[in-house]
Structure 1
Amino acid sequence: MSVDRTTPEPPAARDPETLVARLRAAGCVFAEDEAALLLEAAVMDVELLETLVARRVAGEPLEHVLGWAEFAGRRWSVGAGVFVPRRRTELMVAAALALPAPATMLDLCCGCGAVGGAVLLGLRAAGADAVLHASDVEHAAVAHARRNLGPLGAAVHQGDLLAVVPTMLRGRVDLLLCNAPYVPTGAITAMPPEARDHEPAVALDGGADGLDVLRRVVASAPDWLAPGGSLLFEVGTDQVDGATALVEAHGLRAAVVTDEDPDADDATGGTVVVATLGAR
């Protein structure tokens, strides 16, 4: 009598339909798309696929599970404990590329480096180039930012905002990008668990009104911007008045850029404040 000693395949390996069903049961809205990406990531490795699916079903962000996030048409390295760049922030990239081409760029609260990197690549595609420096306080974010931006020739610094930026950049920054946290502290608990439970609080929590970090950045910006240089940052629609008043109080000219796509929603429709320094 023969005995079948074949190890049963884990559920995720049986077929795509089973995988989609598991993801959908876990609350994944785009289960079919996620299943295709997980199958691609596993490259026919049944055990790896089951590990990835189990992590996703347990609630980890898909981007952390895959090891990359798509932003501005490119895949950027991310991982556990790293803020995942949002689609709506692509508006900041577009707004930056609509300005005169900068010679020197600085990306604060850079996370994985996707925003500054996307602007730099956009400049190069248009036949321009720039020096890019970036900084973030989170060790994990800096590790991924260096992985993403190092090949582009950018320098990434770890520490609090401008405290770790080379002083030689003071007064010379043509474009200052800052995707600072702007979620009010009281609203953190209402965020999706993927963000609330898996992204660092320092990348989400903007204080009582969401503008605490931005107050520090805006107050310092005039000393770091070159004449005619601009600071770009993202806010919620209900924060625009407070943000523009803050900008103008520090002697900067404020403009607001919004997504003109009629189908834009909270996930895709951003609001960007452009704060420009006049001639000294």
Structure 2
Amino acid sequence: MSSSVYDPSSRSSLIATLRAAGCVFAEDEAELILAAARTPHEAAAMADRRAAGLPLELVVGWAEFAGLRITVEPGVFVPRRRTEFLVRQALAEVPGAQVVVDLCCGSGAVGAALAAALGPVELHAADIDPAAVRCARRNTAAAGGRVHEGDLFTALPAELRGRIDILAANVPYVPTGEVGLLPAEARDHEPLVALDGGADGLEVLRRVAAEAPRWLAPGGRLLIETSERQAPVAVEEFTAAGLSTRLAVDDELYAQVVIGTRAG
């Protein structure tokens, strides 16, 4: 990496570009761009992409999640910090999990984080989007993850039925009519399939909850992130599927995670 990337004029120029675009944390973002860039020209180009509205994670090529550096690529959902709460809940619920599935995996961040914390596990991930599958394969490779392309459970090997200890599903949950209200970073740069949860935002959650009991091991857990407004209905869907259900909330992260347990 060229040392000239780090000269004061480069840094101040990047900060000015980012600040003019309205980036609140311009100094911090400039440091991340400088660390990722190989030349001053590349750093300037990255700052210009960020100023044009590209999410910082896609500019630098990675996102921090649960202490890991998760590779992200254009067209792939960027993992949110609030979803770390889902990971913590899963680890607290099933600390000895042996079989883990990350459904609607996107970048594979949830599966990678669970595997990193649990140690050797049988890790599977699945997504309907080919770009997400490619990205997840990179992020779960160190854990020996197997990533499958397809629609929810149809993507998974049949041998997993009745064996899954942790089934984490970060399903899309934005109501169709509200997708246009999302911040431009999500609306313009992330795949619609990872955002749009149907008319009330719960269409994919319903499908997952209904089928999950056939895939969970006795005592296995299904965990899905949702919104505060949707949480009561989500709890009802889990209960209707025959799962013992509770809602976990983290007010600081604005995180709501519905947790369903298959009877032992």
- TM-score relative to the length of structure 2: 0.94
Q: Tell me the SS of whatever aligns to 2:171.
A: coil
Aligned to 2:180: 189
Q: CA deviation at 1:54?
A: 1.5
Aligned to 2:158: 167
> Which letter does structure 2 place at the counterpart of 1:114?
A
Aligned to 1:269: 254
Is the contact between residue 13 and residue 46 of structure 1 (CA under 8 Å) also seen in structure 2? no
Whole-angstrom distance in 2 between the partners of 1:62 and 1:212: 30
Matched, 1:21 2:7: no
Is the contact between residue 71 and residue 90 of structure 1 (CA under 8 Å) also seen in structure 2? yes
Q: 1:43-83 deviations in whole A, cap 9, x for unaligned?
A: 4x012112211111111111111110110011100010000
Aligned counterpart for 2:196 among listed residues 191, 202, 205 = 205
Aligned counterpart for 1:86 among listed residues 66, 80, 102 = 80
Matched, 1:216 2:207: yes
Aligned counterpart for 1:147 among listed residues 134, 138, 143 = 138
Aligned to 1:4: none
Is the contact between residue 110 and residue 145 of structure 1 (CA under 8 Å) also seen in structure 2? yes
Matched, 1:176 2:167: yes
Whole-angstrom distance in 2 between the partners of 1:20 and 1:49: 11
Aligned to 1:112: 107
Whole-angstrom distance in 1 between the partners of 2:66 and 2:225: 16
Q: 1:98-134 deviations in whole A, cap 9, x for unaligned?
A: 013211111100011110110111112xxxx321110
Q: Tell me the SS of whatever aligns to 1:23.
A: helix
Is the contact between residue 246 and residue 260 of structure 2 (CA under 8 Å) also seen in structure 1? yes
Q: 1:236-259 deviations in whole A, cap 9, x for unaligned?
A: 001111000001111111111111
Give the alignment of 1:208-247 within 5 angstroms: 208-247=199-238
Is the contact between residue 13 and residue 19 of structure 1 (CA under 8 Å) also seen in structure 2? no
Post-superposition, which runs of at least 4 consecutive aligned residues in structure 1 deviate over 4 A? Answer: none
Whole-angstrom distance in 2 between the partners of 1:171 and 1:156: 19
Is the contact between residue 72 and residue 90 of structure 1 (CA under 8 Å) also seen in structure 2? yes
Q: CA deviation at 1:274?
A: 0.4
Structure 2: 5+ residue stretches without partners: none
> Which letter does structure 2 place at the counterpart of 1:276?
T
Q: 1:230-280 deviations in whole A, cap 9, x for unaligned?
A: 1000000011110000011111111111115xxx2xxx331111011112x
Aligned to 2:53: 59
Q: CA deviation at 1:13?
A: 8.5
Is the contact between residue 20 and residue 32 of structure 1 (CA under 8 Å) also seen in structure 2? yes
Whole-angstrom distance in 2 between the partners of 1:164 and 1:74: 26
| Higher-Rg member (1/2) | 1
Q: Tell me the SS of whatever aligns to 1:22.
A: helix
Q: CA deviation at 1:29?
A: 1.4
> Which letter does structure 2 place at the counterpart of 1:50?
A
What is the aligned length? 259
Q: 1:180-205 deviations in whole A, cap 9, x for unaligned?
A: 00011111111110100000000000
Aligned to 1:3: none
Q: CA deviation at 1:18?
A: 2.4
Is the contact between residue 234 and residue 270 of structure 1 (CA under 8 Å) also seen in structure 2? yes
Q: What is the Cα-based RMSD across aligned positions, in Å?
A: 1.6
Q: Identity across aligned pairs (percent)?
A: 53
Aligned to 2:40: 46
Q: CA deviation at 1:177?
A: 0.5
Q: Tell me the SS of whatever aligns to 1:14.
A: helix
> Which letter does structure 1 place at the counterpart of 2:24?
V
Whole-angstrom distance in 2 between the partners of 1:27 and 1:158: 38
Is the contact between residue 13 and residue 50 of structure 1 (CA under 8 Å) also seen in structure 2? no
